[in-house]
Amino acid sequence: MALSTHTTSSGYLLPSIHSAPPFFTQQPNSSTQAVVTEHWTRIILGYARHRRLFFLRIEDAEVAGGDWDEVFRNERINRRLLPDHLQTILASMAGKSQAVYEPPKQTRAVLLYWRRPEEWAEVLHTWVSSTGHMNTIMTFYEITDPPVESPLSGIPEVLLRKAIAILAKTGRAQMIGAADGDGVRFFASGGK
């Protein structure tokens, strides 16, 4: 019985370890569990990037029918990732800055960093520059829901704010408070 890779219906290639029955059980040996956690982390971040998913909740492993079924359930071998196991994995990811608890001060939902906020900041700045929006004031809505799909389409506001804050530190962006929602202005380079 060879363990093989599997392509999900959404086109994501799962590694062969995903077909191994014990991969779905939390391992009592801590160094073995570290290996398991590492593989799960890679699968979760890869899948999130593949489907542009930003949030992951413990419920996603509890009830079927969510975005994560393809990954957390393997019907071919009748195994699924249990909520407690997922919680351990999320704790490890949060510890390694591969995700943050969002909202903070709870441990049942995370914002996934398949791109780190620093990388998002660069993506954002490049996009603003290539679409000719430098020096103009943009609303968050214009960034998260542009008429032409962009690398930033659908980015959660909390992540967008983090990215803008990083750009603001180097003088490449400025937050502008307004009554009907916040806006932001971008600059080509720092030093203004």
Partner 1 sequence: MHRLGGVGLAAFERHEQSKRSFAELSNELSQSQVDHLHSQLNQFRTALARFASSHRETIKNDPTFRHAFQQMCSSIGVDPLAGPRKGGWWAELLGIGDWQYELGVQIVDVCVSTRERNGGVIEMAELVRLVTKLRGVSAGTITEDDVVRSIKTLHPLGAGYQVVEVGGIKMVRSVVKELDEDQAIVLALAQESGGRIVEDTLVDRKGWTQERAHAALDNMLLRDGLCWLDEQDKQHDRVYWVTSAMQWEA
Residue numbers at the binding site for partner 1 (CB under 8 A): 1-5, 15-17, 20-25, 27-29, 31-32, 35-36, 78-80
Alpha carbons 76 and 21: distance in angstroms, whole number: 10
Q: Rounded to whole angstroms, how far apart are CA atoms 173 and 54? A: 23
For the bound state, the minimum distance from the C-beta of residue 32 to partner 1, rounded and expressed in Å, comes to 5
Closer to partner 1 by CB, 38 or 157: give it: 38
Of 85 and 162, the one with the shorter C-beta distance to partner 1 is 85
Q: How far is the CB of 34 from partner 1 (least distance, A)?
A: 8
Q: CA-based angle 89:91:96, to the nearest 5?
A: 95
State the nearest-atom distance from the C-beta of 18 to partner 1, in Å.
11
CA atoms of 38 and 42, how far apart (whole Å): 6
Closest CA to 102 of 92, 88, 118, 90: 90
Q: Which residue lies nearer to partner 1 by CB, 4 or 153?
A: 4
d(CA 10, CA 47) in angstroms, rounded, equals 10
How far, in Å, CA of 80 to CA of 122, rounded?
A: 37
Least spacing, CB of residue 37 vs partner 1, in Å: 12
Residue with tokens 């909390």: 158
Cβ distance to partner 1 smaller for residue 15 or 146? 15
- Kindly state the smallest distance separating residue 138's Cβ from partner 1, in Å: 45
16/106 with CB nearer partner 1: 16
